[in-house]
Chains A and B, each alone.
Chain A
């Protein structure tokens, strides 16, 4: 808390030195602007629009990443086919995808697709690592006793994959927001947070830029909290306690 206060003080001092609101708004001006924004109906509509698209992208990445990881764990061919694709998506610059997607689709869908593409490799690689981390000794038990696969998934697979999936979610939520909003800015998606950021640049409103950035951070942190809360509940249900084991960073 003290460190945060220090940096806010630094920001205040720099803003006073610069003394040009359009270049660097002071913390006070940003808070005032944020207060003005929050009470407008348009603010909440904008937040809802961006939130919906980014949630769709993130959820899609979790589902498709999980499905691809399951395929790759079961088939060498699928693994060999997926690996270069995932590596390419992972290392390609996000703006390349955004511009390519702009050629293919309209800007309203851009944020969802971009978030999806950025989160997909994280989901795929973590879930695959989780599947490969399953206890071989227990899998042999499942095979000897012919445990029905639904039971096996619940008792052996899910507890092994859950910590890896949680790690993917922690990384993925932030990534989805950053890349999704970047796509909205570049595509100037109507009624989105990205469009507000674009306008802030256009009209030299640095207070707006900071206010919306705070909104994005808050949404990202809240999103992460919601996802982790859900994962803790899943953990309690499937593993019966908050004890993590073998969780990757």
Chain B
């Protein structure tokens, strides 16, 4: 299945990656292959470099040593550790900002699917609760047709009652896409059918 001179379709390969910030070695000779069309879950203690891996995968950071191979022209999307929404815009506008073709009805459907009601959709996101904002960030990453999605602790701030429905939504939207999930919760990883990779000790 491997292509000549590059990683398989839709996949990302990290080989022997080292990343330092000052004196601190965050990753040391780390290797990871994201299986195409599958969810890979990265688990590990705090400050073990999980977010750095996500940034390398997205091309937001470069390794000091080692290689990161990504297929050229890969369409990416991300749920960052923080929500990173445009505060003054509404939920729908935040989605429209990143979508190639923005159909208002489809965007409203997407937001309903993550559990936002009409009242929440009418407000700028700065007026939404932490959980609602997180849902907008998740919908933004999954509404489009990105080939590669990273999700950095996506369910932070989501209440226990509504979490199963949200996980079901994410599972459905991730089908067939290459994804990197960062989590502390093993059950999230298994519910999303992820292959678990442990980082750091």
Contacts and interface: CB of A to CB of B under 8 A. Distances in A.
Contacts of A151: 97
A144 B76 contact: yes
A10 interface: no
Interface in B65-110: 75-78, 80, 82, 84, 86, 88-89, 93, 97-98
Nearest to A140: B60
A155 B86 contact: yes
Nearest to A154: B97
B115 interface: no
Contacts of A239: 88
Interface residues of A, number: 17
Contacts of A146: 75-76
Nearest to B82: A137
A16 interface: no
Interface in A124-149: 137-138, 140-141, 143-147
Contacts of A137: 80, 82, 84
A156 B86 contact: yes
Contact of A155 (B58, B59, B80, B89): B89
Contacts of B78: 141, 144-145
A135 to B, nearest CB: 8
Contacts of B93: 155
A84 interface: no
A35 interface: no
Contacts, number: 46
Nearest to A143: B60
Most buried by A among B82, B89, B93, B146: B89
A240 interface: yes
Interface string B140-166: 100010100000000000000000000
A155 B97 contact: yes
A147 B88 contact: no
A241 B60 contact: no
Interface of B is mostly: loop
Interface residues of B, number: 20
A238 B86 CA distance: 11
A233 B57 CA distance: 41
B178 to A, nearest CB: 14
Contacts of B124: 240-241
Contact of A145 (B59, B88, B98): B98
B97 A144 contact: no
Contacts of A143: 60
A141 B80 contact: yes
A143 B58 CA distance: 9
B88 A241 contact: yes
A140 B58 CA distance: 10
Interface in B121-137: 124
Interface in B149-195: none
Contacts of A140: 60, 80, 84
A144 B89 CA distance: 19
Contacts of B140: 145
A238 B58 CA distance: 29
Contact of A138 (B59, B84, B144): B84
B98 to A, nearest CB: 4
Interface string B45-65: 000000000000011100000
A119 B27 CA distance: 50
Contact of A144 (B60, B82, B86, B88): B60
A140 B59 CA distance: 10
Interface of B: 58-60, 75-78, 80, 82, 84, 86, 88-89, 93, 97-98, 124, 140, 144, 146
Question: Shortest 4 CB-CB distances between A and B: which pairs?
Answer: A145-B98, A239-B88, A240-B88, A137-B84
25 contacts: A137-B80, A137-B84, A140-B80, A141-B78, A141-B84, A143-B60, A144-B60, A144-B76, A144-B78, A145-B77, A145-B78, A145-B98, A145-B140, A145-B144, A145-B146, A146-B75, A147-B97, A155-B93, A155-B97, A159-B86, A159-B88, A238-B88, A239-B88, A241-B88, A241-B124
